[in-house]
Amino acid sequence: MATTFNDTQMTEFKRLVARYPEGKQKSALLPALHLAQDSFGGWLSTETMDYVASLLHIEPIEVYEVATFYSMYNLKPVGKFVFEVCQTGPCMVSGSDNIIDYIKKTLDIKPGETTKDGMFTLKLVECLGACGYAPMMQVGKIYKEHLTKEKVDSIIAAYRTEAANN
């Protein structure tokens, strides 16, 4: 995949940078990394990070240290759909363990792994602010809440259909 923003992505990048005062363009780094991750296959390669550094006129190391600090940036390839399941206290007391076990069994992967077909990655994450609607997981921009085993089944089926139709 070419590591260059297309026109739409570049317009968005310029909008992000324009929000900060002259000379403070580094402030756009976190949103720019989100944009890059979404644009280049769901993860940040060294090449991608270097590209972002060059666009913001900062050193590559300034990008690496940020990308490794925040949990939302993937530093290795991930599946088409990433299941980020919350495991913190409030989700735990609402039964997240059962949901995590069920996803592991159903997809036959361990946390951090991707299914062989490259479709799903399972990530265990800490509190996502959905404690009242637990158990839950984030998939892309969406929160899937009040999870049950049946609901997990239908979510997986829906994503498989989505992938097949694209």
Partner 1 sequence: MGVKLLLDKANVPGIRTYEVYRREGGYRAVEKALKEMTTDAIVEEVKKSGLRGRGGAGFPTGMKWSFIAKPEGVPRHLVCNADESEPGTFKDRYLMEFLPHLLIEGLIVSSYALGSNETYIYIRGEYAWITDILEEAIEEAKAAGWLGKNILGTGFDCNIHVQRGGGAYICGEETALIESLEGKRGNPRIKPPFPAIQGLWMRPTVVNNVETLAAVVPIINMGGEEYAKIGVGKSTGTKLISACGNINKPGVYEIDMTITVEEFIYSDEYCGGIKDGKKLKACIPGGSSVPILPANLLLTTAKGEPRYMNYESLSDGGFATGSMLGSGGFIVLDEDQCIVKNTYTLARFYRHESCGQCSPCREGTGWMEKILQKIETGKGEMSDIDLLWDIQRKIEGNTICPLGDAASWPVAAAIRHFRDEFEWHVKNPELSQTSNFGLQHYADPIHVPA
Query: Least separation, in Å, of the C-beta of 116 and partner 1?
Result: 27
Nearer to partner 1, 43 or 133 (CB): 133
Torsion on CA atoms 28, 129, 138, 44, rounded to nearest 10: 30
Query: Least separation, in Å, of the C-beta of 124 and partner 1?
Result: 10
Nearer to partner 1, 103 or 134 (CB): 134
Which residues form the interface with partner 1 (CB under 8 A)? 19, 21, 24, 26-31, 33-34, 56, 58, 62, 65-66, 69-73, 87-90, 92-94, 125-134, 138, 141-143
Query: Least separation, in Å, of the C-beta of 164 and partner 1?
Result: 25
Query: Least separation, in Å, of the C-beta of 13 and partner 1?
Result: 14
Nearer to partner 1, 94 or 121 (CB): 94
Nearer to partner 1, 140 or 153 (CB): 140
